Amino acid sequence: MEFAELIKTPRVDNVVLHRPFYPAVEGTLCLTGHHLILSSRQDNTEELWLLHSNIDAIDKRFVGPLGTIIIKCKDFRIIQLDIPGMEECLNIASSIEALSTLDSITLMYPFFYRPMFEVIEDGWHSFLPEQEFELYSSATSEWRLSYVNKEFAVCPSYPPIVIVPKAMDDEALRKVATFRHGGRFPVLSYYHKKNGMVIMRSGQPLTGTNGRRCKEDEKLINATLRAGKRGYIIDTRPLNVAQQARAKGGGFEQEAHYPQWRRIHKSIERYHILQESLIKLVEACNDQTHNMDRWLSRLEASNWLTHIKEILTTACLAAQCLDREGASILIHGTEGTDSTLQVTSLAQIILEPRSRTIRGFEALIEREWLQAGHPFQQRCAQSAYCNSKQKWESPVFLLFLDCVWQILRQFPCSFEFNENLLIMLFEHAYASQFGTFLGNNESERYFSALEQILQVFG
């Protein structure tokens, strides 16, 4: 399939561009396979290079012979193009619509991008699990690297290498994988050097209505306990939701089978609730009316800050269990790919100074989000402006970044980076010239031969 087939009109002159915080620019608009480019061809004005994959929604308006296209981007920008000529306008609009809804990964820009800067480091190999494990193996001998998922056969959303207790062999891990949602058996997320306690994460146990149990699963997580001490299981779902999950084959860890573990339920929302929250938030921000009267109540109505608060409280709880109580914890939600990862990564930011450095933060994202199998492609397919039907889209990663920002505000001297790093990560998660956030997990990235292209990190 040629991109050229999708481009009806590759170029239009005398287009006026309106962008927030910039003066209006008149110039030539070009469409390429991946970008929308507007340039006035003059030296001192900035050009607009917009990735089609960054486009959330397009509105068309006509006033006489002048057509206006309003492009709403996933990074919340709203860009207006005034195009002379109705036919050109319609052609541009439909070309953009086609180009921004490609469905194959390999058609995306990262596969075509050639960098203009010197590539210093191969980002794909910057934060390998073996290297991360090095950091722990000096402090403890109770853990090992397991290659049981080498072929992604045991758990399709896990990376090929995971860290598990030494006491568990690969056979046992295979059994545990059948007991956990999506095959996501409990693995090490973080080792707290101060007291040797750990954070593990997984998917929900598939106890179902029959109260099924799995001895290997129990053995696995019990292996992290010290003699006579309890552990905590943090279920990011409220109790009633966890109970209802049993009807669909899921569930939670029964006290009878996990006597040494105390279960705590939190209530972190998921999926479309978060997406709606984001939509309302962005609407409130875009409201141009001047009065203060409605701002706070609209902010409140979006519930965005309520979600932030819940996620942060859960992460604090996890950090306190580890650090204050000196107990190991297991975190899971339903699938273990959304709220679980928010909590484990935030807990590490709270606990470990390394995660607050730039390299450490990159490593954290690599470990806890990319390799851990957060489905970026699904979650970031659409953002706040999209008006087509949403299925799996959800601003989970954005919420995480917002939580990091909240901590940054409270502890401004404790972070090596500032909010620009967070914003950059947000933008690249939705649309990027780099391949880091493509795909939904390591196996998809592997099979798309993503290593050919560049990483955001490095």
Partner 1 sequence: MLIDLREEYKRMGLPNNYWQLSDVNRDYRVCDSYPTELYVPKTATAHIIVGSSKFRSRRRFPALSYYHKDNHVSICRSSQPLSGFSARCLEDEQMLQAIRKASPGSDFIYVVDTRPKLNAMANRAAGKGYENEDNYSNIKFQFIGIENIHVMRNSLQKMLEVCELKSPSMSDFLWGLENSGWLRHIKAILDAGVFIAKAVSEEGASVLVHCSDGWDRTAQVCSVASLLLDPHYRTLKGFMVLIEKDWISFGHKFNHRYGNLDGDPKEISPVIDQFIECVWQLMEQFPCAFEFNERFLIHIQHHIYSCQFGNFLCNSQKERQELKIQERTYSLWAHLWKNRGDYLNPLFRDDPSQTQGTLHLPTTPCNFMYKFWSGMYNRFEKGLQPRQSVTDYLMAVKEETQQLEEELEALEERLEKIQKVQLNRTQVKSKQSEPSKHSGFSTSDNSTANTPQDYSGNTKSFPSRSPSQGDEDSALILPQDNLKSSDPDLSANSDQESGVEDLSCRSASGGECAPSEDSGKDPDSDEAVFLTA
- Choices 64-72, 245-253, 286-294, 374-382 (CB under 8 A): range interacting with partner 1: 286-294
Instruction: Determine the Cα angle at 415 with ends 231 and 121, to 5°.
Output: 95
CA distance 321 to 199: 10
**Of the candidates 417, 427, 428, 446, which one interacts with partner 1 according to CB under 8 A?**
417
> CA-CA distance, 365 to 437, in Å (whole number)?
10
The footprint of partner 1 on this chain (CB under 8 A) covers a number of residues equal to 49
DSSP 204-227: -B--TTTT---HHHHHHHHTTPPT
Contact between 176 and partner 1 by CB under 8 A: the answer reads: no
Asked if 233 and 253 touch (Cβ cutoff 8 Å), the reply is yes
For 52, 331, 429, the CA distances from 391, given in Å and listed in that order, are: 20, 25, 18
| Cα–Cα distance for residue pair 111/450, rounded to 1 Å | 8
Binding of partner 1 by 140 (CB under 8 A): no
The token duo for 110 is 């990262």
Q: Nearest approach, Cβ of 5 to partner 1 (angstroms)? A: 38
Give me 430's structure tokens.
């939705």
Told to check if 78 binds partner 1 by CB under 8 A, we report: no
Cβ 387 to partner 1, closest distance in Å?
23
We find the least distance from the C-beta atom of residue 283 to partner 1, in angstroms, to be: 12
Measure the CA–CA gap between 375 and 182, rounded to whole angstroms. Answer: 13
Sign of CA dihedral 347, 352, 357, 363: negative
User: Taking CB under 8 A as the rule, does residue 350 contact partner 1?
Assistant: yes
Q: How far is the CB of 303 from partner 1 (least distance, A)?
A: 8
Cβ closest to partner 1, residue 348 vs residue 382: 348
Q: Which is nearer to partner 1, 81 or 404 (CB)?
A: 404
Nearer to partner 1, 180 or 356 (CB): 356
* Chain position carrying tokens 């851990």: 372
Spatial CB neighbours of 21, under 8 Å, sequence gap ≥ 6: none
Distance CA 418, CA 120 (A): 22
| Closest CB to partner 1 among residues 46, 121 | 121
Question: Three-class SS of residue 196?
Answer: coil
**Binding of residue 64 to partner 1 (CB under 8 A):** no
131 binds partner 1 (CB under 8 A): no
User: x/- site string to partner 1, residues 200 to 239, per CB under 8 A?
Assistant: ----------------------------------------
- By CB under 8 A, tell whether 405 contacts partner 1: no
Q: 14 or 418: whose CB is closer to partner 1?
A: 418
The count of other CB atoms within 10 Å of the CB of residue 235 is: 27
Among 172, 407, 431, 454, binds partner 1 (CB under 8 A): 407
Q: Is 100 exposed, middle or buried (0-12, 13-18, 19+ CB in 10 A)?
A: buried
Q: Which of 397, 415, 426, 437 binds partner 1 (CB under 8 A)?
A: 415
Q: For partner 1, which is the closer residue by CB, 122 or 287?
A: 287
Least separation in angstroms between CB 349 and partner 1: 8
E-assigned strand segments in 78-171: 78-84, 143-146, 162-165
Q: Which is nearer to partner 1, 39 or 357 (CB)?
A: 357
Q: State the binding string over 353-382 for partner 1 (x if CB under 8 A, else -).
A: xx-xxx-x----------------------
- Binding mask 315-344 toward partner 1 (x if CB under 8 A, else -) reads -x--xx--x---------------------
Choosing from 215, 300, 388, 391, the residue that interacts with partner 1 (CB under 8 A) is 300
Alpha-carbon distance of 233 to 203, in angstroms, equals 12
Q: Is 24 in the site for partner 1 (CB under 8 A)?
A: no
Q: Is residue 3 at the binding interface for partner 1, with CB under 8 A as the rule? A: no
- Interaction residues for partner 1, span 85-124 (CB under 8 A): 120
Asked if 83 and 71 count as a contact pair (C-beta separation under 8 A), the reply is no
Candidates 28-36, 38-46, 90-98, 299-307; binding stretch for partner 1 (CB under 8 A)? 299-307
Look-up of token digits 């569930």:
251
Distance from chain centroid for Cα 251: 25
Choose between 303 and 340: whose C-beta lies nearer to partner 1.
Answer: 303
β-bridge pairing 25-31 and 11-18: antiparallel
**Separation between Cα atoms, residue 73 and residue 96, nearest integer Å:** 12
CB 196 within 8 A of CB 139: yes
Residue 306 sits in the site that holds partner 1 (CB under 8 A): yes
User: Interface with partner 1 by CB under 8 A: which residues?
Assistant: 120, 194, 285-288, 290-293, 295-297, 299-300, 303, 305-306, 308-309, 312, 316, 319-320, 323, 349-354, 356-358, 360, 407-418, 420-421
